[in-house]
């Protein structure tokens, strides 16, 4: 992480665009504070329910590791490494600045290459590469999966054919990802996303499907043998070959599914057991439904003021106390009750 900070400072102070002005910034941010990945370098896990040393499930947002990450962000802001106006810019404006060559790095999910693909078409000297989060100490930095319940398929009580739901799911899974998947039937895919059938009544996705596709693509690129490519992977492979043959519109596919890609970074996390899973994967608790919005607002306002330097870093401790008092303690109790009841 020390190297990342040094590189961010170089992007800021060493005139990377050669225009003789200090008008570039090391790290792009916006008012929604996409700082989760930065905090991972300090082993802080925002909005993820994790186990503490005693085995109790606690919220990562209020842990001291987050405070240390915020301390460095405050320091970077004071140095000028962060855009001084990031707190009033939305995501679109942040990416507009990035695409104008005003930022050297940013933290986004695996689809990030989509956001900067236009730069490649304007200037082929430009390139972007995805990297795993780096660690501030001798412990490896991990990524987080803070998702909980994503959705439910329900069948009403007394329905005459409840098995129809499972049959539909099995049909979709087999046609898309099973042994008899029709590899030439690209029309099964939903546009560019590969998320399932057109107008599917129900659908589901296998775990790690994108990482699997990336692995298949990488092997095919090495060997030239495309026989092992699944339905989606074949489309991704074709797009990458299209880019390598000169179609810059497909550059982002190289950086999402190629050898040096965001999916390759995710594979690195998975294969090295560097993913912190959310311990709470259930429906929201009673107090979450009534208090979570208040806690989210408190966090956003406090963290922004700390980074700006309007509040001392030690105000993080007051934030933790207020978070607990305004419903956080009650939510934590409910979370542990639900988890214990489902063991």
pLDDT number for residue 192: 46
Three-state secondary-structure class, residue 290: helix
pLDDT number for residue 198: 53
Check: CATH 3.40.190.10 for 2-147+278-341? yes
Query: Structural domain boundaries of the chain?
Result: 2-147+278-341, 163-273
pLDDT number for residue 187: 55
**CB atoms inside a 10 Å sphere around CB 221:** 17
Q: b vs e for 44-63, b when ≥16 Cβ sit within 10 Å of the residue's Cβ? A: bbbbbbbeeeeeebbbbbbb
Report d(CA 329, CA 62) in Å as an integer. Answer: 11
CA atoms lying within 13 Å on the CB side of residue 121: 13
Q: Please name which of 180, 240, 246 lies closest in space to residue 214, comparing C-alpha atoms.
A: 240
Per DSSP, what are the bridge partners of residue 49? Answer: 59
**CB atoms inside a 10 Å sphere around CB 294:** 14
| pLDDT tens sequence across 232-275 | 899 999 999 999 999 999 999 999 999 999 999 999 999 999 99
Report d(CA 87, CA 77) in Å as an integer. Answer: 11
CA angle 129, 91, 66 (to 5 degrees): 75
Q: Please name which of 96, 139, 101, 111 lies closest in space to residue 266, comparing C-alpha atoms.
A: 111
Residues found in the chain: 343
Structure tokens at 88: 């009033």
> Which portions of the chain are predicted below pLDDT 70?
181-200
Cα-based distances in Å from 69 to 72, 115, 267, 315: 5, 26, 25, 14
Q: Which long-range contacts (CB under 8 A, 24 or more apart) does 87-92 make?
A: 87/31, 87/304, 87/308, 88/31, 89/30, 89/31, 90/30, 90/31, 90/32, 91/30, 91/32, 91/34
| pLDDT tens sequence across 145-177 | 987 777 788 999 999 999 999 999 888 888 777
**Residue whose tokens read 């179609």:** 247
């Amino acid at each position: 992480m020390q190297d990342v900070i040094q590189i961010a400072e170089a992007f800021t102070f060493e005139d990377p665009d050669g225009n003789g002005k200090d008008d570039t910034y090391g790290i792009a941010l916006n008012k929604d504070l996409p700082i989760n990945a930065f905090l991972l370098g300090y082993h802080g896990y925002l909005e993820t329910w994790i186990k503490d040393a005693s085995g109790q499930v606690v919220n990562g947002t209020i842990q001291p590791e987050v405070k240390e990450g915020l301390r460095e962000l405050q320091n970077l802001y004071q140095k000028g490494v962060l855009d001084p106006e990031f707190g009033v810019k939305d995501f679109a404006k942040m990416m507009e600045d990035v695409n104008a060559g005003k930022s050297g790095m940013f933290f986004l999910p695996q689809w990030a290459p989509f956001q900067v693909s236009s730069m490649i078409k304007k200037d082929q000297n430009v390139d972007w590469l995805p990297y795993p989060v780096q660690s501030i100490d001798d412990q490896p930095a991990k990524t987080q999966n803070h998702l909980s319940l994503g959705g439910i398929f329900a069948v009403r009580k007394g329905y005459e054919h409840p098995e129809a739901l499972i049959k539909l799911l099995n049909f979709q899974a087999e046609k898309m990802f099973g042994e008899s998947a029709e590899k030439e039937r690209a029309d099964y895919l939903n546009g560019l996303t590969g998320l399932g059938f057109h107008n599917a009544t129900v659908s589901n996705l296998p775990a790690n499907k994108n990482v699997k596709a990336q692995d298949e693509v990488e092997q095919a690129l090495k060997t030239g043998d495309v026989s092992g490519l699944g339905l989606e992977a074949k489309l991704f492979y074709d797009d990458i070959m299209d880019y390598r043959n000169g179609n810059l519109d497909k550059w982002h596919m190289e950086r999402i599914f190629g050898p040096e890609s965001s999916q390759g970074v995710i594979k690195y996390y998975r294969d090295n057991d560097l993913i912190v899973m959310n311990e709470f994967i259930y429906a929201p608790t009673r107090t979450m439904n009534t208090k979570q919005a208040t806690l989210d607002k408190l966090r956003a306002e406090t963290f922004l003021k700390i980074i700006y330097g309007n509040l001392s870093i030690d105000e993080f401790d007051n934030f933790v106390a207020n978070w607990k008092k305004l419903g956080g303690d009650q939510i934590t109790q409910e979370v542990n009750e639900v988890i214990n009841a489902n063991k």
